[in-house]
A and B are shown apart, each in its own frame.
Chain A
Amino acid sequence: MPKVKVPRKSTAVDMTAMCDVSFLLLTFFILTAKFKPEELVAVNIPSARSQKQFTDAITILLDKDGKAFIQLGEGKTRHQMLQQLIDRNGDRYPDLKNLNDHQKELFGNIETWGGPISDLPRVLSMNGTQLQAYQKHMPGIPMDSTNNQLMDWVQSSRYATDNNIKIAIKSDKDTNIQPVKEVVKGLTARDIHRFLLVTSLQGPGTGDAAAAAPATDEKK
């Protein structure tokens, strides 16, 4: 029988195309990756078993002393939120009426806000270093029943996003329950019955309840 000659082929595969694709993907992920927002307020959040993750939320921050702050991810939404606040509650906050468009847009750069509304015109005309200094010592958003600015911000954020926003409460482990209750009361009074409590995923040895998580299924 005549032998069939198999042509010798190289085993090396051309990697150029794969390299192109992978770098394209790499570029995409690098560009879309969001940096963690700068932690202006130190909050040591409690841990829990819940694995639920969320995005697109307005976060109500409560620090150890019960001071309230708001945090909102996107600059554009923040800008719209301020606009809604002026449009709907402008009568109650006359300080906001004199803000010009540039200042309103500047509000989009402030990721964490934690001061009375009367401070806003002053803050929005500050330069970078002054702003940083202010943000380090923010007095907190007033949330007493006669002047509940916190809830006005929350409502404005809902108007600004056509109610497509989740509401999260991020509070320190050692925060007194009273301000948390106040916030929850304020939210339920405004017909917000579902919200999120920001927690960290519990690892071994992070508190009493944490260590117990795996043991549950046995007991059932």
Chain B
Amino acid sequence: MAEIDTSGGGGKHKGGVRSKKMSTRVDLTPMVDLAFLLITFFMLTTTLSKPHAMQLNMPKKPEKEEEKQEIGECQVLNILIDTLDHVWYYEGLQVAGLKQTEFAPDAKDGGIRKVVLDMIKKVPNTCPLTSKGAKREAIVLIKMLKGARYENMVDILNEMDITACKTYAIQEPDPIEIEAVENGGTVKSFTREGETAPHQ
């Protein structure tokens, strides 16, 4: 009862050890193994050496009037990046609300990513419908200040990819925006042409 039967089940043991017949053939299995290992290596390295890239589509100038998109003040998020790797942002057209944040999403305020995500969530619900009755979506305008580093441009485009922001454009910063960033967010002459100064 306590014995464990290790034999294959039948229990009929054939007596005697059979001597193996030696084959004259050479076993090619290790060679095949090696060959396939090398194949795998070359296959993987040839495809991996292709460089990675992110696609950047610049807007074409609209030829017809209908192609032009109607943009409301409430759907625009402006992101400015300065020479010291700082990210500045404000919503709408009033530079007055300029705030500073960081690239790192683990920053206290959630970084620029949270700003963009909040904007994407907010715009369809709070903005009035377009003249055609469609819901509006967030539009991000990226403005690289003179002397900013290229890495920051890639970083912010990467954020656009991560947050799945559909509409974004790289633009030249306005003089007033440059002034606002240089003054650390506070601007004396807040008005652009045709705008009234905001109350503060």
Interface residues of A (CB under 8 A from B): 10, 12, 14-16, 18-19, 22-23, 25-26, 29-30, 32-34, 36, 46-55, 62, 168, 170-178, 180-181, 184, 187-188, 193-201, 207-209, 211-213, 215-216, 219-220
Contacts and interface: CB of A to CB of B under 8 A. Distances in A.
Nearest to A175: B150
Contacts of B163: 216
Contact of B154 (A46, A168, A219): A46
A193 B57 contact: yes
Interface of B: 23, 25, 27-29, 31-32, 35-36, 38-39, 42-43, 45-47, 49-60, 102-106, 111, 113-114, 117, 144-155, 157-159, 161-164, 170
A131 B163 CA distance: 47
A27 to B, nearest CB: 10
23 contacts: A10-B23, A15-B32, A48-B155, A48-B157, A50-B55, A51-B52, A52-B54, A52-B55, A53-B47, A172-B150, A175-B150, A180-B150, A193-B59, A197-B54, A197-B56, A199-B53, A199-B54, A207-B151, A207-B155, A209-B103, A211-B106, A212-B113, A220-B117
A34 B157 CA distance: 31
Given A195-B56, A196-B56, A216-B113, A48 B161 contact: yes
B53 A193 contact: no
Given A173-B149, A207-B151, A168 B27 contact: no
Nearest to A216: B162
Interface centre among A22, A50, A177, A215 (most CB of B within 10 A): A177
A193 B20 CA distance: 73
Nearest to B53: A196
A26 B46 contact: no
B64 to A, nearest CB: 17
A188 B144 CA distance: 17
Contact of B159 (A170, A187, A209): A209
